Structure 1
Amino acid sequence: MNLPFGVEQFFAVFAAYNSAIWPFQIVAYVLGAFAVGAVLSGRSPACERIVFAVLSLLWAWNGVAYHLLFFSPVNPVAKVFAGLFIAQAALFAMYAVIAPPELRFELRSGWHSIAGLALILYSALVYEILGVMAGHGLMNGPLFGVAPCPSTIFTIGLLLLLRGRSVLPLSVIPVIWVLIGTGAALMLQVREDFGLAIAGLVLGVSLASDWLRRPQS
Structure 2
Amino acid sequence: MREWWTYRPEDFLLFADRVYWRLFELHNAAVWPAQIAALLLGAAILVLTVRPRPWSGRVIALALAAAWLFVAWTFLWLRFRPINWAAGYAVAPFVAEALLLVWLGGVRGRLRFGARGGPGGRLGLAVFAYALLAHPFVAVLAGRPLAGAEIFAIAPDPLAIGTLGLLATAKVSGAHISRSGGRLTVAALFLVPLLWCGASAATLATMGTWEAWIPLAAAVAAVAARAWPHGRKPPT
The TM tier, using the shorter chain, reads 0.7 to 0.9
1:63-91 C-alpha deviation (Å, 9 max, x unpaired): 00000001110001111112221111111
* TM-score, normalization by structure 1: 0.88
**CA distance change for structure 1 residues 15 and 171 in 2, over 3 Å: closer, same or farther?**
same
How big is each residue's C-alpha offset from its partner over 1:77-126, in whole Å with a ceiling of 9 and x where there is no partner? 111112221111111111211112xx322255422122112112211222
Secondary structure in 2 matching 1:77: helix
After TM superposition, where is structure 1 displaced by more than 6 Å over at least 4 residues in a row?
A: none
User: Deviation string for 1:33-76 (max 9, x for gaps)?
Assistant: 1212212223x321110110110011111100000001110001
Whether the 8 Å CA contact 1:182–1:196 is kept in 2: the answer is: yes
Tell me what 1:197 maps to: 216
Partners of 1:209 and 1:124 in 2: CA distance: 23
Q: Which amino acid aligns with 1:184?
A: T
In structure 2, the residue matched to 1:49 is 58
- In structure 1, the partner of 2:176 is none
Considering only aligned residues, what root-mean-square deviation do their CA atoms show, in Å?
2.2
The 8 Å contact of residues 139 and 148 in structure 2, kept in 1 or not, is answered as: no
Partners of 2:28 and 2:48 lie apart in 1 by: 28
Aligned match of 2:109 = 99
C-alpha contact 1:55 1:92 (8 A) present in aligned 2:
yes
The correspondence for 1:25, drawn from 25, 35, 54, is: 35
Determine the C-alpha separation between the residues in 2 that align with 1:115 and 1:191: 23
Identity %: 28
Gaps spanning 5+ residues in structure 2: where? Answer: 1-8, 173-181
Answer with 1 or 2: which has the greater Rg: 2
Partner of 1:61: 70
Task: Give the structure 1 partner of residue 24 of structure 2.
Answer: 14
Equivalent of 1:88, from 81, 88, 97? 97
3-state DSSP class of the match of 2:15? coil
TM-score with structure 2 setting the length = 0.81
Q: Give the corresponding residue for 2:179.
A: none
Structure 1: state its 5+ residue gaps.
none
Instruction: Name the SS for the 1:34 alignment partner.
Output: helix
